[in-house]
């Protein structure tokens, strides 16, 4: 599904190299996790994949089902099936959550040559998906993320994911700022979307999210590279011993 | 204080080129009084305190500068909303194109007919609210209007008027110069909605005086037409009685020069005045809102919400003041003026003011100028919304607070549709 090969990235504004040759292959149906200390480049990887300004790709490739992601505009990547759940979801005063969801859904359908979804079908779908995430009518009516608590913002990200049904979901520190109950809700939302044809890349600092969203593969990222990959037990090792041992081992 | 010679000369030259219409006694006196006010204050000059941001030359000129007619399809204003329409062609009322002037709950009379009568209720209002509006800032074009208005109507609402009245201003000649004057009296317990649309003329001077009696309501929505070269100076003067309500919204899209002045006086307790505007400019566009609200009663509320979207050299200005007079306790005043600059060439100049002489009031004002929020734009795009559409969505979000001031949902939807159309035509 997602193939990253020797990806090198530097900041556009300054001569700072962040990613120094990332290799990653996430097949359809799989859940991969990326863990790593602060500043290792995890969030940068998610931004570069989604097409955020401010980064220069100096070498390497990133493809989604064989399509070159790096050549596409941000909205084209979304229409191709890439979704980034933001670490800090953005507040948009004046744009209703429903309007936002419908505009996004129909824009993607249009880009894929599909008909727009009717208002009635959309309403039915959004109510059903929102209910599972305990998102009430009021949250749907309010402007996007405005006045939402940390947990509400993250649930809203998962709702967008559930509505847009992407093939490749990247979750950037979705567990940050969540209490235990919210983490369970969010994880259940993610797990409900696990599917043969869909892949997940879960970026996190902590092992606890991976108790809820069980990964197939865990990668450790440090200094702009994947330094070690393994099964779920690797996450437990990090939890128990920290990153120091692993980093010493690969150094 | 005597006027400077240049100002006096310019004023006299302008006056000499204008003809005062024939009227009955009361109107003749009212017009003469307007002329006297104009002669005393003189036409505005660039050094006048409230004309620093906006050059008055083209409004002062004897001849109206030419303005090309708008080309391109224009959807009818206010959609298929049920209403009574009065049509003006280059500032002249056209009875044939207008609806029959009878509507339950309101008396509609052409200004010339009212002026021909010896005694008329409009005597207490024509030029009277205008005259009150010059303190502390002169509005010479309003005085000029009272003296020389060539057409207009007087309206008296006596009950809940069943549908809106709509003044539709057509611009058909490239050199037309229109001066229209309207007097509206909303009697106790009455409720009237007035709509205005269109550019009216190459140069348009309008004066709308509204007297809102105790426990009555006045709603006003206008769109100023899409002509690029037109020039307008409009005046909205209102006096509010006890428990009365006033709501006004203006959409300005395009126009070489627009100066929308408002002077609202809350004279009865528990009155509420809301005035809002959305202005869209691309290129040669200068838009000026000059708004004064005077609180002179207890427990009144006022809101000013002005939003401007500017690009490609467009200029927006806002001059707004809330004056709370001694004794006007429990005043709740709010004023916001904001601009969204879509590129580096657009400009927004603001002069927000508060002047408060009572000690138990809550007044706030704010003015900002900013660009599209890049974070929000990326967020929308990351969900698949194409960049142009995402930008339009954010512009509409910026305007939402002003559009929310329109009470009628159908009218608000029509305004939104117009804004979306404008944004689509002015992408890139």
pLDDT digits (tens, 9 = 90+) for B1-37: 678 898 999 999 999 999 999 999 999 999 999 999 9
Chain B residues in contact with A164 by the CB 8 A cut-off are: 383-384
Structure tokens that stand for B229 in this block: 């070269």
Q: Which of A75, A105, A143 sits opposite B386 (nearest CB)?
A: A75
The ipTM estimated for the assembled molecules is 0.96
CA distance A12 to chain B (A): 16
Residue of chain A minimizing CA distance to B387: A75
Query: What's the pLDDT at A251?
Result: 66
Q: Which of A53, A78, A94 sits opposite B383 (nearest CB)?
A: A78
Query: What's the pLDDT at B158?
Result: 97
Among A239-248, B158-167, B270-279, the range scoring the smallest mean pLDDT is A239-248
Residues 6+ positions from B349 with CB-CB distance below 8 Å:
B53, B315, B316, B317, B318
Hey, what's the torsion of the CAs at B135, B137, B141, B144, to 10 degrees?
40
Query: What's the pLDDT at B176?
Result: 97
Helices and strands per DSSP (H, E), number in chain B: 9, 19
Tell me the pLDDT of chain B averaged across its residues. Answer: 95
Residues 6+ positions from B322 with CB-CB distance below 8 Å:
B293, B295, B302, B304, B333, B335, B353, B354, B355, B356, B363, B365
In the stretch 94-133 of chain A, residues with CB closer than 8 A to chain B read 94-95, 99-100, 103-105, 107-108, 111
Query: What's the pLDDT at A75?
Result: 97
Separation in Å, CA B209 to CA A194, B128, B278: 66, 8, 22
Task: Reduce the DSSP state of residue B416 to 3 states and report it.
Answer: helix
Is B386–A50 a contact, with Cβ atoms under 8 angstroms apart? no
Query: What's the pLDDT at A177?
Result: 82
Chain B residues in contact with A92 by the CB 8 A cut-off are: 373, 376, 379-380, 394, 397
Mutate to test the interface with B, among A96, A104, A172 (most CBs of B within 10 A): A104
CA distance A242 to chain B (A): 33
What integer is the mean pLDDT of A102-116?
95
Is B379–A108 a contact, with Cβ atoms under 8 angstroms apart? no
Is B383–A89 a contact, with Cβ atoms under 8 angstroms apart? no
First to last CA, chain B: 51
Structure tokens that stand for A42 in this block: 């995890």
> pLDDT exceeding 90 applies to what percent of chain A?
79
pLDDT digits (tens, 9 = 90+) for B318-352: 999 999 999 999 999 999 999 999 999 999 999 99
What integer is the mean pLDDT of B208-237?
97
What integer is the mean pLDDT of A53-70?
96
Query: What's the pLDDT at B1?
Result: 61
Dist. CA B260–CA B253, nearest whole Å: 13
CA distance B400 to chain A (A): 6
Separation in Å, CA B350 to CA B137, B141, B211, B252: 17, 22, 29, 17
CA distance B73 to chain A (A): 27
Structure tokens that stand for B114 in this block: 């009212």
Residue of chain A minimizing CA distance to B400: A94
Dist. CA A169–CA B62, nearest whole Å: 67
In order, the DSSP letters of chain A are -EEEEEEEEEESSSS-EEEEEEEEEE-TT-EEEEE--TTSSHHHHHHHHHT-TTEEEEEEEEEETTEEGGGS-HHHHHHTTEEEE-SSPPPEEEEEHHHHHHHHHHHHHHHTTPPPPPHHHHHHHHHHHHHHTT--HHHHHSEETTT--HHHHHHHHHHHHHHH--SEEEEESTTTT--HHHHHHHHHHHHHH--TT-EEEEE-S-SHHHHHS--SEEEEEETTEEEEEE-THHHHHHHHH-SHHHHHHH-
What integer is the mean pLDDT of B34-58?
94
pLDDT digits (tens, 9 = 90+) for B92-147: 999 999 999 999 999 999 999 999 998 999 999 999 999 999 988 899 999 999 99
Chain A residues in contact with B374 by the CB 8 A cut-off are: 53
Residue A66, pLDDT > 80, answer yes
Question: Given strand B347-356, what is the order of strands in its sheet?
Answer: B106-110, B151-157, B177-186, B203-212, B231-240, B257-266, B286-295, B315-324, B347-356
What integer is the mean pLDDT of B358-367?
95
Chain A residues in contact with B385 by the CB 8 A cut-off are: 75, 103-104, 107
CATH of A2-250, one of 1.20.140.10, 2.60.120.560, 3.40.50.300, 3.40.1000.10: 3.40.50.300
DSSP B54: S
Phi-psi region of B124 (alpha: psi -120 to 50; beta: other; left: phi over 0): alpha
A74 touches chain B (CB under 8 A): yes
Report chain B residues touching chain A, CB-CB < 8 A: 373-376, 378-387, 389-390, 393-394, 396-401
- Please tell me the pTM assigned to this model: 0.93
The number of beta carbons lying within 10 Å of the beta carbon of residue A236 is 14
What integer is the mean pLDDT of B363-391?
96
> Where in chain A are the domains?
2-250
Query: What's the pLDDT at B19?
Result: 95
CB B57 within 8 A of CB B259: no
Among A10-14, A197-201, B87-91, B234-238, the range scoring the smallest mean pLDDT is A10-14
């Amino acid at each position: 599904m997602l193939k990253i090969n020797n990806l090198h990235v530097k900041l556009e504004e300054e001569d700072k190299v962040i990613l120094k040759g990332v290799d990653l292959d996430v097949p359809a149906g799989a859940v991969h996790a990326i863990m790593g200390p602060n500043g290792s480049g995890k969030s940068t990887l998610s931004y570069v994949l989604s097409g955020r300004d401010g980064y220069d790709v100096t070498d390497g490739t990133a493809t989604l089902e064989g399509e070159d992601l790096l050549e596409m505009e941000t909205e084209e990547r979304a229409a191709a099936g890439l979704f980034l759940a933001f670490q800090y979801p953005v507040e948009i005063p004046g744009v209703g959550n429903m309007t936002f969801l419908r505009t996004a859904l129909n824009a993607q359908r249009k880009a894929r040559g599909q008909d727009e979804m009717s208002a009635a079908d959309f309403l039915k779908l959004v109510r059903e998906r929102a209910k599972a995430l305990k998102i009430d009518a009021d949250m749907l009516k309010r402007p996007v993320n405005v006045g939402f608590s940390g947990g509400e913002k993250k649930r809203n990200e998962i709702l967008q994911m559930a509505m847009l049904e992407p093939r490749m979901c990247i979750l950037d520190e979705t567990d940050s700022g969540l209490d235990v109950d919210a983490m369970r809700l969010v994880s259940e939302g993610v797990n409900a979307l696990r599917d043969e044809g869909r892949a997940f890349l879960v970026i996190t600092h902590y092992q606890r999210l991976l108790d809820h969203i069980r990964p197939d593969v865990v990668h450790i990222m440090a200094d702009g590279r994947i330094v070690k990959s393994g099964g779920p037990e690797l996450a437990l090792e990090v939890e128990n011993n920290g990153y120091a041992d692993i980093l010493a081992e690969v150094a | 204080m005597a006027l400077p010679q240049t100002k006096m000369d310019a004023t006299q030259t302008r006056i000499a080129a204008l003809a005062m219409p024939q009227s009955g006694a009361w109107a003749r006196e009212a017009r003469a009084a307007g002329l006297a006010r104009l002669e005393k204050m003189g036409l505005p000059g660039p050094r006048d305190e409230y004309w620093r941001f906006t050059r008055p030359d083209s409004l002062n000129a004897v001849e109206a500068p030419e303005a090309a007619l708008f080309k391109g399809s224009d959807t009818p204003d206010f959609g298929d909303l049920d209403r009574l329409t009065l049509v003006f062609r280059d500032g002249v009322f056209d009875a044939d194109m207008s609806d029959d002037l009878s509507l339950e709950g309101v008396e509609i009379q052409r200004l010339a007919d009212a002026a021909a009568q010896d005694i008329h209720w409009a005597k207490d209002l024509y030029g009277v609210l205008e005259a009150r509006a010059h303190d502390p800032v002169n509005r010479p074009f309003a005085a000029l209007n009272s003296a020389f208005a060539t057409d207009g109507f007087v309206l008296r609402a006596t009950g809940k008027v069943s549908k809106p009245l709509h003044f539709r201003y057509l611009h058909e000649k490239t050199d037309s110069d229109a001066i229209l004057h309207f007097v509206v009296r909303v009697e106790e317990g009455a409720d009237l909605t007035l709509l205005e649309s269109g550019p009216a003329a190459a140069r348009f001077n309008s004066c709308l005086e509204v007297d809102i009696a105790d426990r009555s309501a006045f709603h006003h929505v206008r769109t100023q037409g899409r002509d690029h070269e037109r020039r307008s100076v409009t005046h909205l003067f209102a006096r509010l009685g006890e428990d009365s309500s006033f709501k006004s919204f203006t959409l300005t899209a395009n126009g070489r020069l627009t100066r929308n002045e408002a002077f609202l006086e809350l004279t009865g307790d528990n009155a509420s005045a809301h005035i809002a505007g959305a202005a869209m400019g691309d290129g040669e566009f200068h838009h000026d809102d000059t708004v004064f609200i005077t609180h002179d009663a207890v427990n009144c509320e006022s809101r000013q919400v002005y939003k401007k979207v500017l690009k490609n050299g467009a200029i927006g200005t806002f001059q707004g003041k809330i004056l709370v007079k001694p004794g006007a306790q429990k005043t709740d005043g709010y004023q916001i003026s904001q601009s969204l600059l879509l590129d580096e060439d657009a400009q927004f100049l603001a002069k927000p003011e508060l002047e408060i002489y009572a000690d138990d009031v809550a007044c706030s004002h704010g003015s900002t100028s900013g660009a599209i929020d890049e974070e929000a734009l990326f967020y929308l795009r990351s969900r698949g919304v194409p960049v142009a559409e995402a930008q339009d969505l954010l512009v509409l979000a910026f305007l939402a607070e002003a559009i929310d001031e329109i009470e009628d949902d159908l009218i608000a939807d029509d305004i939104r549709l117009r804004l979306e159309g404008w944004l689509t035509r002015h992408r890139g």
